[in-house]
């Protein structure tokens, strides 16, 4: 069976996109459909390559029973050839991804995470890196909401 390939992208790949990946995987497992998707996350910047996610984001995730499995990597041109969907956390990620995107053989559809927000479709997932702990919880709540609708969309558009 072909598994759909999803890549979540933010700037540093240590806060928002690892949480998006972790929440997405957690929801898939709850639904018993984990084997239908291949999931990863990446950053548009290479500040923290090989690092684990930010400790504050790991703690927030664990408080909701979510684990954050992946190590930081940078998004590449190849990702556009291999993934079905690349999901950006904010508009500046979309702008940066547009400069990484190759001109030929692109497979990936580029989407914005909050396009799937049933409360506010017009925002970004805010960067919590320089703020307090409440910002990390806010990111979790947004990503839970958005990924619930995103999975619903994916399952309806097979």
Q: In angstroms, rounded to a whole number, what is the distance separating the alpha carbons of residues 127 and 16?
A: 7
Closest CA to 149 of 24, 25, 21: 24
Q: Which residues of 87-110 are buried (b: 16+ CB within 10 A; e: fewer)?
A: bbbbeebbebbeebeeeeeeebeb
Q: Which of 23, 127, 135, 151 binds ligand 4NP (CB under 6 A)?
A: 127
Cβ 147 to ligand 4NP shortest distance, Å = 15
Q: Which of 101, 106, 129, 149 binds ligand 4NP (CB under 6 A)?
A: 129
Cβ 127 to ligand 4NP shortest distance, Å = 5
Q: In angstroms, rounded to a whole number, what is the distance separating the alpha carbons of residues 50 and 14?
A: 10
Cβ 155 to ligand 4NP shortest distance, Å = 27
Asked if residue 11 binds ligand 4NP (CB under 6 A), the reply is yes
* CB-based contacts of 55, cutoff 8 Å, min separation 6: none
Which of the 8 DSSP states describes residue 125?
-
The set of catalytic residues is 10, 16, 127
Over the window 22 to 51, marking each residue x when it contacts ligand 4NP by CB under 6 A and - when it does not, the resulting string is -------------------------x----
Cβ closer to ligand 4NP: 20 or 27?
Answer: 20
Cβ 37 to ligand 4NP shortest distance, Å = 21
Asked if residue 14 binds ligand 4NP (CB under 6 A), the reply is yes
Q: How many CA atoms lie within 13 A of 85 on its CB side?
A: 20
Q: By CB under 6 A, name the binding residues for ligand 4NP.
A: 10-16, 47, 127, 129
């Amino acid at each position: 069976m072909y598994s759909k390939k999803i890549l979540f992208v933010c700037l540093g790949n240590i806060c928002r996109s690892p949480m998006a990946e972790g929440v997405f995987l957690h929801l898939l497992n709850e639904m018993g459909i984990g084997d239908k998707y291949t999931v990863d996350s990446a950053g548009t910047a290479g500040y923290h390559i090989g690092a684990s996610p930010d400790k504050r984001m790991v703690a927030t995730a664990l408080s909701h029973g979510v684990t954050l499995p992946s190590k930081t990597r940078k998004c590449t041109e190849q990702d556009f050839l291999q993934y079905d969907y690349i999901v950006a956390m904010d508009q500046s990620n979309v702008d940066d991804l547009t400069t990484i995107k190759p001109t030929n053989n692109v497979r990936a559809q580029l989407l914005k995470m909050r396009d799937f927000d049933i409360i506010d479709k017009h925002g970004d997932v805010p960067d919590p890196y320089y703020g307090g702990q409440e910002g990390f919880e806010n990111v979790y709540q947004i990503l839970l909401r958005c990924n619930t609708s995103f999975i619903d969309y994916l399952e309806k558009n097979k």
